[in-house]
Structure 1
Amino acid sequence: MTGEPRTPSPYAWAALSFLGGAAVMNGEIAAGRLLAPYLGTSTSTWAMLIGTVMGSLALGSLLGGWLSARGSAERWVVRLMIASSVLFALLPRGVPWLLASSLERFRAGAAALATVAAVTGIAIALPMASLGALPPLLLHAAGRPRGPDHAIQLGRLSGKLTAAGTVGSLVGTFGAGLLLLPWLGTRATFDAAAVVLSAGAAAFGFYAGERREALVALAATALAAVLATFPAREPAARHGRVLWSGESRHNHIAVVERGEERQIRVNEGFAVQSFARLDGRLPVRDVWAYYALAPSFCTTASPKNVLLLGLGGGTSAEVYRRLYPEAKIVGVELDAAIVEAGRRWLGLELPGVEVVIDDARTFVAAESRRAPGRFDVVVLDAFQFPYVPFQLATAEFFAAVKSLLAPGGVLMVNAGRYGHERAVVHALARTLSSVFAHVAAADAPNRSNTLLVASDHDLARAVGIEGLATTAETKTVLRDLAFRHAPMRPAVWPASTPLLTDDHAPVEWLTDRIVWRAL
């Protein structure tokens, strides 16, 4: 049964418009965080997400206009708010399962990956389309003829509803981005929107006399509230036994145990961000082996000051702390939670290491003014796989890093590749060569990393392993690493390789091209 309908006041319509606008932007910002662990936060990802939301809102507007001529507009408003509420509650519980195996689907081919992308897009589009249908329905219901000056009233009403929706969008944007996501996390941000939407639908349903829909909305509110109290099960880890997982302001972090290693994996979990050996042995392999060798490319016998941009859980700092105990080490990391995970789960306490929680670009800019020429070795290892943060890949940034280097110092950069696809490596090498006199490269023994060394001296003038003022034990370790890893060779790149600058740094586009070619 449906109760006797009443005519809601203009304030009720404005409140619903406000609520709809807030829910749309809350959902869009939260969806960005939902996708980030699997698809990254590149401009390509955000363009696809924003395009999906805008297209959904457009379709929703057509739907709302069509529904406005079919039955009570108030009833459809309540129904659509209920639908959006339920879908918001389901999104963070379903999408991660779809995307968790995205890398396996990537390897399986374009068709499988396209299927996952399409299903994910539809899952995000459905609640947005439901919310997009609200404005036409609200205007239709609130703008019923009420006297000879109806046209004037309709224009004013449209302006008020639009303004209320826009203010709601602002509240949803800042509330999700600055409050809910940092404070509660992604899933709880969706849950909060689900509860508020369904509760608002229930209140409006009772107010407008749509009691049957109001009761359904109350049930949806109770369901969303109950779901919010239970943590969502995460997809099973593919890389080892999960010891701990959690979400920081910047990343999803998992600590896994695999064989003789304990590893930190962030976001999609493909790459090992940091690791420690369970037997206490020195954690050197792949890129960390090259980090250990970096001082041998200098012209000075021992590194007095070392800067690690992208400290992570502390593996590279542990390598330097044990091999070069006299060096003063500064580690810069954006995500404090990863550093804490390294301390708690990997046992990397890093005594004597100066840990700075800051953005690498900000730190370098400040340090280049405060203490130019301070560091003998700078290691740059800052990724959000598979993308390189563009602001850490430009000629302007490398020039600032160069100002931090002491005479005879070197910059080592970890660059991502995919097998023989190395467009990003080439771009980084060319850009480094615009700042430094010499650039050399070597592929790590995997499919994903190339190490670049940049200096103003020819590597033939470097001290080498034998010229380092360190212990015989350290030299033995370094000789073994050099024997098992490819030597540095002068870097080369195609003539068409772009120079990366702050104004034009298409690193994401280059990475996307690699992905599509691989598919």
Structure 2
Amino acid sequence: MERFIIVVTGGAVLCLQLVASRIMAPFFGVSLYIWTGILSITLLCLAVGYYLGGRYCHAAPIAAVRSVFHRIPALSGLALTVSAILYPVSLGPLARIDLIAGTFLASIMLLAVPLVAMSALNPLLVALERDRRRSDGDAGAGWVFFLSTLGSVAGVIVAAFALIPHLASRQSVLLIAALLCLLSLAGIGSARDLPRRARLATAALAVLGLLAVLGIKAAKDGPATVYDDANTPWTVLASYPSAFGAMKVVEIGRGDGAVRALINDGLSQNGFLADGRHAFVFTHFLETVALNLVPRPRRVLGLGLGAGALAEAFAAKGARVDMVEINARARFVAEKHFGYRPGPETTIHIADARTFVHACQPAYDVVFVDLFVGDGLPEHLSTREFFDDLRRCLAPGGVLAMNSFLDTADMSYYRSLLATLAASFGTVAFVEQDRPGSRALTNGFLFAATDPSVLPAIRSLAVDRNRVPPSIVARMAASLQSLQLITAASPLVAGIPILTDETNRALALASSSQLNFRSTLVWTIPDSILVD
């Protein structure tokens, strides 16, 4: 039984690390700095646990070692229930203090006690194995760490394929906590030589942990409607776990001015007004520019489904639409909550955009790209090789329309992105979405074509005022004032290294901007909308 415990707790350690990353992502993002915090705290906790477990074995009699060994899973489970109570109310304040420091503090709150405790099990079991074998050599250390690592491998698989895609993060934490408490109860049931007092103490701790799990599960969730600092109501209509973060359907505002939005880890992917029209500038801008340059597209490729806004718009023009979406849950949410109804001329492919594009044929009149993970464009979708593949997907006269995040205060990453696009297409039309002067973050709209001579026509954009709300028409006109045609010789990108698969510095270049973007989100969106 003791060896089984080391396998299960080894799995729990890695499960918790992955689940913790999902818990923290809506508040802290997934930048290089954030992962540094999570991994360093995890490794530090493991090191401390190994050390403390070893020290305890030197000082304690073997009977005490066995008692503590069986008690640790229950202690870890109880600590996890405390974390499940604390993190929904503490992650927001920690993120608003400082994203990087907050990452370390949040990791400690979520992981420190269970990880230190469970890693201490390894030296404790080595001591038990040595006592059982009465032999020298490695005293069973190799076997113990083999079992623990085997459990860790299983834990990663369980977290990735069972917990994260199907359960909310809090439910996953509580499930792991309950499993650990049950593990202690099973352990004392099989360890007949444990003293009665040790058995009762472990049982009490395990039962307390299980009662805490049941109490948290039975407690009512917070209010469905919360208010931001501007007193705007945010109402969660539905929430779905997925392998790519929690997907929430949220109504923002009241009455005719309300927006129903799809929010994924804090990112608003699509939004609709009460009258069914798109609520965000980027969907109107990409659609309008593409249809101005290619008025009657026959085939359209969309990378990123969102709530189906752009896919539906191009299908309504009679185009055959291929949509590529990596998140299998997205179609269900789009159909159930946003009225998306793909017709027979629309095909949805559940695939990674890079893989699909690499194999596609030069058949598309329009390719639109609206791909985000965490706080920006995935790094493998920002390289010369990817954009070369996109160019090959376009039919003669075809147009690329792309949405992206833009940090005007730090253009390091964006200049490399523009330089890379220009290297693939020759000329890129770059439009900065209008923004208040005090705000550095906005959207950047990028357009390219197999025939770059068509791009200047964007300046005389014709807008369908029946489809586009007046307020967005005005914002589109203001955005057009920023239009630049970028080539490799343009001052904005001259001398800037392009991004390639071999020399891809996207993650490092974008880290500062990603922190700025996530910091803006945690000050804008109510905590209960972000928490998973």
Q: TM-score range by the shorter chain?
A: 0.7 to 0.9
Assess, with a 3 A threshold, how the Cα gap between structure 1 residues 388 and 81 changes in structure 2: closer, same or farther.
Answer: same
- Aligned residue number for residue 75 of structure 2: 83
Deviation at residue 67 of structure 1 after TM alignment = 2.3
- Aligned residue number for residue 207 of structure 2: 219
Q: Which amino acid aligns with 1:46?
A: W
SS at structure 2 position matched to 1:20: helix
Does residue 166 (structure 1) correspond to residue 166 (structure 2)? The answer is: no
Deviation at residue 293 of structure 1 after TM alignment = 2.4
- Aligned residue number for residue 279 of structure 1: 275
SS at structure 1 position matched to 2:136: helix
Q: Deviations over 1:365-391 (max 9, x none)?
A: 23x2xxx22111111110024121112
Q: Which amino acid aligns with 2:311?
A: A
Q: Which amino acid aligns with 1:344?
A: K
Does residue 486 (structure 1) correspond to residue 480 (structure 2)? The answer is: yes
Q: Which amino acid aligns with 2:349?
A: V
Does residue 507 (structure 1) correspond to residue 527 (structure 2)? The answer is: no
Deviation at residue 311 of structure 1 after TM alignment = 1.5
Instruction: Give the structure-1-normalised TM-score.
Output: 0.84
Does the CA contact (< 8 Å) of 1:80 and 1:134 recur in 2? yes
SS at structure 2 position matched to 1:50: helix
Instruction: Give the structure-2-normalised TM-score.
Output: 0.82
Does the CA contact (< 8 Å) of 1:311 and 1:332 recur in 2? yes
- Aligned residue number for residue 139 of structure 1: 126
- Aligned residue number for residue 103 of structure 2: 117
Q: Which amino acid aligns with 2:324?
A: V
Assess, with a 3 A threshold, how the Cα gap between structure 1 residues 438 and 321 changes in structure 2: closer, same or farther.
Answer: same
Q: Which amino acid aligns with 2:479?
A: H
Alignment equivalent of 2:406, drawn from 417, 421, 437 = 417
Q: Deviations over 1:145-191 (max 9, x none)?
A: 875xx314xx2522222222122222222222222333444333322
Q: Deviations over 1:173-212 (max 9, x none)?
A: 2222222333444333322321222222223335223223
- Aligned residue number for residue 73 of structure 1: 65
Distance in 1 (alpha carbons) for counterparts of 2:391 and 2:81: 49
- Aligned residue number for residue 230 of structure 1: 218
Assess, with a 3 A threshold, how the Cα gap between structure 1 residues 211 and 375 changes in structure 2: closer, same or farther.
Answer: same
Q: How does 1:449-468 map to 2 (within 5 A)?
A: 449-459=443-453
Does the CA contact (< 8 Å) of 2:74 and 2:206 recur in 1? no
Deviation at residue 496 of structure 1 after TM alignment = 5.8
Distance in 2 (alpha carbons) for counterparts of 1:460 and 1:22: 56
Assess, with a 3 A threshold, how the Cα gap between structure 1 residues 233 and 475 changes in structure 2: closer, same or farther.
Answer: closer
Distance in 1 (alpha carbons) for counterparts of 2:220 and 2:332: 24
**How high is the sequence identity, in percent, across the aligned residues?**
24
Distance in 1 (alpha carbons) for counterparts of 2:430 and 2:55: 61
Deviation at residue 35 of structure 1 after TM alignment = 2.3
Does the CA contact (< 8 Å) of 1:411 and 1:453 recur in 2? yes
**Larger mean Cα displacement after TM superposition, 52-61 or 303-312:** 303-312
- Aligned residue number for residue 525 of structure 2: none
**Larger mean Cα displacement after TM superposition, 326-335 or 182-191:** 182-191
Assess, with a 3 A threshold, how the Cα gap between structure 1 residues 463 and 303 changes in structure 2: closer, same or farther.
Answer: farther
Does residue 293 (structure 1) correspond to residue 282 (structure 2)? The answer is: no
Does residue 199 (structure 1) correspond to residue 182 (structure 2)? The answer is: yes
Q: Which amino acid aligns with 1:252?
A: A
Does the CA contact (< 8 Å) of 2:358 and 2:389 recur in 1? yes
Distance in 2 (alpha carbons) for counterparts of 1:498 and 1:17: 49
Give the count of matched residue pairs.
488
Assess, with a 3 A threshold, how the Cα gap between structure 1 residues 319 and 60 changes in structure 2: closer, same or farther.
Answer: same
**Larger mean Cα displacement after TM superposition, 166-175 or 481-490:** 481-490
Deviation at residue 482 of structure 1 after TM alignment = 5.3
Q: Deviations over 1:312-338 (max 9, x none)?
A: 10122233345xx23333322222323
Distance in 2 (alpha carbons) for counterparts of 1:232 and 1:427: 48
Distance in 1 (alpha carbons) for counterparts of 2:126 and 2:473: 75
Does the CA contact (< 8 Å) of 1:242 and 1:254 recur in 2? yes
SS at structure 1 position matched to 2:164: helix
Does the CA contact (< 8 Å) of 2:185 and 2:206 recur in 1? yes
Alignment equivalent of 1:336, drawn from 304, 328, 340 = 328
Does residue 151 (structure 1) correspond to residue 144 (structure 2)? The answer is: no
Does the CA contact (< 8 Å) of 1:203 and 1:214 recur in 2? no
Distance in 1 (alpha carbons) for counterparts of 2:310 and 2:145: 53
Deviation at residue 84 of structure 1 after TM alignment = 1.0
Does residue 263 (structure 1) correspond to residue 260 (structure 2)? The answer is: yes
Does the CA contact (< 8 Å) of 2:166 and 2:242 recur in 1? no
Deviation at residue 450 of structure 1 after TM alignment = 0.7
Distance in 1 (alpha carbons) for counterparts of 2:285 and 2:405: 14
Deviation at residue 285 of structure 1 after TM alignment = 4.1
Does residue 126 (structure 1) correspond to residue 113 (structure 2)? The answer is: yes
- Aligned residue number for residue 391 of structure 1: 380
Assess, with a 3 A threshold, how the Cα gap between structure 1 residues 87 and 459 changes in structure 2: closer, same or farther.
Answer: farther
Distance in 2 (alpha carbons) for counterparts of 1:231 and 1:362: 44
Q: Deviations over 1:421-440 (max 9, x none)?
A: 23232121111111111112
Deviation at residue 448 of structure 1 after TM alignment = 2.1
Does the CA contact (< 8 Å) of 1:202 and 1:217 recur in 2? no
SS at structure 2 position matched to 1:143: helix
Distance in 1 (alpha carbons) for counterparts of 2:380 and 2:33: 16
Distance in 1 (alpha carbons) for counterparts of 2:358 and 2:219: 41
Does the CA contact (< 8 Å) of 1:443 and 1:451 recur in 2? yes
Does the CA contact (< 8 Å) of 1:205 and 1:213 recur in 2? no
Does residue 359 (structure 1) correspond to residue 359 (structure 2)? The answer is: no
Distance in 2 (alpha carbons) for counterparts of 1:175 and 1:358: 21
SS at structure 2 position matched to 1:240: strand
- Aligned residue number for residue 310 of structure 1: 304
Assess, with a 3 A threshold, how the Cα gap between structure 1 residues 499 and 97 changes in structure 2: closer, same or farther.
Answer: farther
Assess, with a 3 A threshold, how the Cα gap between structure 1 residues 483 and 144 changes in structure 2: closer, same or farther.
Answer: closer
Assess, with a 3 A threshold, how the Cα gap between structure 1 residues 444 and 233 changes in structure 2: closer, same or farther.
Answer: same
Does the CA contact (< 8 Å) of 1:38 and 1:267 recur in 2? no
Distance in 1 (alpha carbons) for counterparts of 2:143 and 2:336: 53
- Aligned residue number for residue 3 of structure 1: none
Distance in 1 (alpha carbons) for counterparts of 2:469 and 2:174: 56
Structure 1, unaligned stretches of length 5 or more?
1-11, 106-110
Does the CA contact (< 8 Å) of 1:287 and 1:449 recur in 2? yes
SS at structure 2 position matched to 1:335: coil
Q: Which amino acid aligns with 2:273?
A: R
Please report the RMSD computed on the Cα atoms of aligned residues, expressed in angstroms: 3.2
Does the CA contact (< 8 Å) of 2:311 and 2:323 recur in 1? yes
Does the CA contact (< 8 Å) of 1:253 and 1:267 recur in 2? yes
Q: Which amino acid aligns with 2:310?
A: S
SS at structure 2 position matched to 1:74: helix
Does the CA contact (< 8 Å) of 1:296 and 1:465 recur in 2? no
Q: Deviations over 1:401-425 (max 9, x none)?
A: 1111111211122121234323232
Deviation at residue 296 of structure 1 after TM alignment = 5.2
Q: Which amino acid aligns with 1:118?
A: F
Q: Deviations over 1:476-497 (max 9, x none)?
A: 9998775343243113534563
Q: Which amino acid aligns with 2:141?
A: S
Distance in 2 (alpha carbons) for counterparts of 1:220 and 1:467: 66
SS at structure 2 position matched to 1:356: strand
Distance in 2 (alpha carbons) for counterparts of 1:343 and 1:169: 37
Structure 2, unaligned stretches of length 5 or more?
436-440, 520-532
